Structure 1
Amino acid sequence: MCAALLDRGFGQRIDQVIDAAVEEQRVVGGVILIAQRGDMLYRRAFGLADREQGKPMAEDAIFRLSSVTKQIVAAAALALVEAGRIALDDPVTKFIPEFRPKLPDGEAPVITARQLLTHTAGLAYGFAQPAGNAYERACVSDGLDQPGLSMADNLARIASVPLSYRPGTRWGYSVAMDVLGEVMARAAGASLPDLIDRLIAQPLGMRDSAFGVRNERRLAIPYADGPAGPVRMGEHHLVPFGDGVISFAPGRTFDPASFPSGGTGMNGTAGDVLKILEALRQGGGPVVTPETACTMTADAIAGIETTRPGWGWGLGFAVLRDAAAALTPQAVGSWRWGGVYGHSWFVDPSADLTVVALTNTAIAGMTGAFPDAVRDAIYGV
C-alpha cells in the first residue's frame, strides 16, 4: 500500500532549510524538485547561479552532474543488455581485450559488466584514498579533471594499478562506470554520448542531458566549500574529502577531446534528472522493461557491505537495507545517490516519492547538513 501524500507543511519546512543554507552561505544556489505519485508537489530555484554577476538561479539551470551521471549510464547499459549487445556476466575483455588489471600477486582475474555496475570489480577512486595513493601516482583521472585526456590513456593508467581486491568479493566505489562506458561503446559500435542520447535522452525528452553543454548561458557556475564560505572554482580546484582530495577541472566539459566519463561526465538539469528517476520508479518505460527496472533498483550485492552503514547497492546506485543503521527516515528499499559538484537525489518507492536537489556548491550540496535537512524536512522528522 502506498504511503500517504506529504503533509501540508513540508514545503514551508523545505523553504526554511533552503533559506537558512543560503543566508548562512553554505550553499550558493540550486534547484529542488519533489514529485509524488507523478505529481509535482514542490519546485524551487534558489540562490545564485553566478554569485559574482548576481545572476539568480533558474529552474532550467544546467549543472555539471558528476556522479548523477551514473544512474543515466546504468540505465543505458541495461537497455543494451535487453537488446542483446551485452550480458551482465560478460567479461570486460570481450569488449576491451587490452584492459587486464592485476591483483598484487600478478594474477589478472575476470571482471564482468555486472561487477562494474555494482562497484565490486576491484577498482577504486583516487579521491577516496589518502594523498599519494597508487591512482594518484598513475595519474588516473576520476573523470572530473585532466581536460583532453583520452579514454585509451585513462584505461591504461587504471589497468596499471593493482586491483584493490578480487572482483566480486567486496564493494568499492570506483571508476568502474568509466570502464563500463567504454564497454558499452565498443559493444554497440557507437560513442557513449550517442548511446545516451539515443537510449535515454531522446526517449525521455531530457533535452539538456549531454556530455557537452548545449546552452552555456544556462550553465551554473561551480563553487567549492571554503573556510569562510563557498569559493568560485578555479581552472584546477582541489577540495578535501574524507581522507583524500577531489580534483576538479570545470573546463573539462568544454573540451571535446576529454573522454566521456560514464561515472561523472554528463551535464543536465534537475528536470532531466527527475525524468529518468521517475521513469525507473514507474517501471522503466520507455527506457527498459519493468523487470529490468525492478532488478536495477533492488539490492544486488547481498552479503557484501558497503562503506555506508545500512546501504547496499543496486545496478547503478545505493539501495537502503536498514533505515536505523543508515539514520534515515526513508523506507527500506529506497534508492539514492548524488554528485560531488553538489547534488543529491532519492526515490522512496513505498511513498511513490522522487526528490532531486542539484546545487552549484561542492561538497555541501551533496552530503552533510544541507541534504540531510532537506530529507528530514520532507518527512517531517
Structure 2
Amino acid sequence: MRPWISSLAFAAGLALASPGLAAPPPVPVAAAAAPDAALAARLDKVVDAALAEHRLVGTVVLVARDGKIVYHRAAGLADREAGRPMREDAIFRFSSVTKPFVSAAIMKLVENGVLNLDDPVTKWLPDFKPKLADGTTPVITLRQLLTHTSGLTYGLAETASHPYHQLGVSDGIDLSGLTLDENMRRLGQAPLAFPPGSAWRYSLAIDVLGSVAEKATGKPLSEVVAETVTQPLDLKDTGFVARDPARLTAAYYNAQPAPRRMTDNLDVPIGGTAVRFAPGRALDKTAFPSGGAGMVGSAGDVLTLLETLRQGGAPILKAATVTEMMKDQVGPQAATQGPGWGFGYGWAVLDDPAVAKTPQGVGTLAWGGVYGHNWFVDPKNRLTVVIMTDTAFEGMNGPFTTQVRDAVYGR
C-alpha cells in the first residue's frame, strides 16, 4: 500500500447544509488534510448557491493538491424526504464514474498477460459480431472498445427508434432483468454506427470489456475489479452493490421548482433523448455488473483511485501503463468533452486548454456520470477534484461543474 493511502480521517465538524445537526463520523480518505481557507471561501460560495437555487439536493466535493486534501465538504441532503443530511462517506450510484475503475482493471489484465489490447473481441466473445450498415462484419479490437472507437453507441444517446431500443439493450443503469450475456447478445445484433477505428462515439464498449474480463478470467466482473483495483487500494465502499444501504443517497433529477425524486425505470429527458434510471439497481444483487455504469461507492474512494493514478499507479498499475492511459489515443478532432479534448483509456484528455476555454492544464483527465457526478485530474498542477452529487444532470454537466472548476483555479 502506498504511504499516502492512510487511515487518516477528515477532521470532525464537517460542513452541513442544515445547522444544528450533529457532525457525521470521520471518513477515511486518500490523503492527509491541509486546508486552504481561501479556496474554501470560493468553493463554499459555489456550493451554497447551488443548494439555495435548488439546482442540487446534496453534494460531496473533494479537492486534493500535491496529495493532500485542501478542501472537503458534504452539503445539502442525501435524502430530502427523510431529512437525512449528506455525509462525506455517503454512497453514490457511480454511473460512468465506474469506467475509470473498470478501465484500470482491464489494464491490469493486460499487464498480467491475460488480455492484449490488439486482440479481437471475438477471441473472448465469439458470437459478438455486430455488422456495419452494408452487412459486413468488421473486426473490433479491445483497444477500440477501450477508446470508444469501436462503432458502438449508447441507447441514452439515441432516439426511441434506434435499434438499441428496439432490441431492448440495457445501458447498465436501468433494471432490465437481463443477464450480462443476454445484453451482449442483443447489443451484437444492432448495427455499428461506423467502421471500427474510424471515429469516436461514447458507447457501451466498457460493458463489452466487462464481459471480456469475465470470460478471460472465469470470474464475475465484481471479483475482477475487487482483486485488481478496490482491494489493493483498500476501497471498502466501492463495488457493484451498496454494502451499507443506510449510507446510500436518494437520487433526484432537475425540475422546477426543485429537483424531483427518481423512481425505478424512469426516463429523464436529456437533449433529444432520455436516460432510463433505476435507483433500486444499487441494491439489486441480481442486476448484471455493468462495466460502464454499474458501480457504487464514496467520493473518498473515487479520490483515492484518481490520486493513485496521478501519482503513477502503484500498487495497482505500473507507471508506464498509467502513462499510456493518460495519453490522448484518438486526437482532439474527436472533441470528446467539447473542442480541445481527446480521449485516453478511461477518460477525456485535454489537448488544448485555449480551445477548450478552461484553466486546466494540458493533459488534464476528466469525465463524469449521469447520476450527477464530475471529476478531473490535472497532473500539471498536481490537482484532483471530485464532485459527487445526488442530482442529475446538474452535477454532471450543469453550471455547478464549471463553477467548481473555476473556483479551484481562483477564477
Q: Same-fold call, TM > 0.5?
A: yes
CA distance in 1, matches of 2:260, 2:392: 10
CA distance in 2, matches of 1:146, 1:286: 35
Query: In structure 1, which of residues 72, 96, 99 is the aligned counterpart of residue 125 of structure 2?
Result: 96
Corresponding residue of 1:256? 285
Where structure 2 has 5 or more consecutive residues not aligned to the other structure, the ranges are 1-33
Deviation at 1:324, TM superposition (A): 2.1
CA distance in 2, matches of 1:145, 1:13: 37
Q: Which stretch of the first structure deviates more once superposed, 227-236 or 53-62? A: 227-236
Deviation at 1:137, TM superposition (A): 1.4
3-state SS of the aligned residue for 1:74?
helix
Q: State TM-score, norm by structure 2.
A: 0.90
Corresponding residue of 2:260? 231
Matched-pair contact (CA < 8 Å) for 1:126–1:135: yes
Matched, 1:19 2:48: yes
CA distances 1:223-277 after superposition (whole Å, capped 9, x unpaired): 1111322101112221111221001011122222221000000000000000110
Corresponding residue of 2:15? none
Matched-pair contact (CA < 8 Å) for 1:235–1:251: yes
Corresponding residue of 1:266? 295
Corresponding residue of 1:293? 322
Corresponding residue of 1:51? 80
Matched-pair contact (CA < 8 Å) for 1:344–1:358: yes
3-state SS of the aligned residue for 1:366?
helix
Matched-pair contact (CA < 8 Å) for 2:347–2:365: yes
Q: Answer 1 or 2: higher relative contact order, Cα 8 Å, separation at least 6.
A: 1
Query: In structure 2, which of residues 156, 162, 166 is the aligned counterpart of residue 137 of structure 1?
Result: 166
Corresponding residue of 1:282? 311
In the TM superposition, 1:4-153 aligns within 5 A as 9-153=38-182
Query: In structure 1, which of residues 167, 179, 182 is the aligned counterpart of residue 211 of structure 2?
Result: 182
3-state SS of the aligned residue for 1:34?
strand
Q: Which stretch of the first structure deviates more once superposed, 294-303 or 256-265? A: 294-303
Quickly say closer, same or farther: Cα 1:242–1:202, change in 2 above 3 A: same
Question: Identity over aligned residues, as a percent?
Answer: 51
3-state SS of the aligned residue for 1:152?
helix
Where structure 1 has 5 or more consecutive residues not aligned to the other structure, the ranges are none
Which AA in structure 2 matches 1:76?
A: A
Corresponding residue of 1:315? 345
Matched, 1:205 2:234: yes
Deviation at 1:6, TM superposition (A): 10
Matched-pair contact (CA < 8 Å) for 2:241–2:283: yes
Matched-pair contact (CA < 8 Å) for 2:39–2:71: no
Corresponding residue of 1:354? 384
CA distances 1:308-357 after superposition (whole Å, capped 9, x unpaired): 21110001100001112222110111000000000000000011100001
Corresponding pairs, count: 377
CA distance in 1, matches of 2:348, 2:342: 6
Matched, 1:167 2:201: no
CA distance in 1, matches of 2:341, 2:64: 23
Q: Which stretch of the first structure deviates more once superposed, 229-238 or 71-80? A: 229-238
CA distance in 2, matches of 1:88, 1:109: 16
3-state SS of the aligned residue for 1:365?
helix
Quickly say closer, same or farther: Cα 1:6–1:295, change in 2 above 3 A: farther
CA distance in 2, matches of 1:309, 1:229: 32
CA distance in 1, matches of 2:410, 2:158: 36
Q: Which stretch of the first structure deviates more once superposed, 243-252 or 93-102? A: 243-252
Q: Which of structure 1's runs of 4+ aligned residues deviate more than 6 A?
A: none
Matched-pair contact (CA < 8 Å) for 1:88–1:113: yes
Quickly say closer, same or farther: Cα 1:335–1:303, change in 2 above 3 A: closer
Deviation at 1:112, TM superposition (A): 0.7
Q: Which stretch of the first structure deviates more once superposed, 105-114 or 260-269? A: 105-114
3-state SS of the aligned residue for 1:157?
helix
3-state SS of the aligned residue for 1:203?
coil
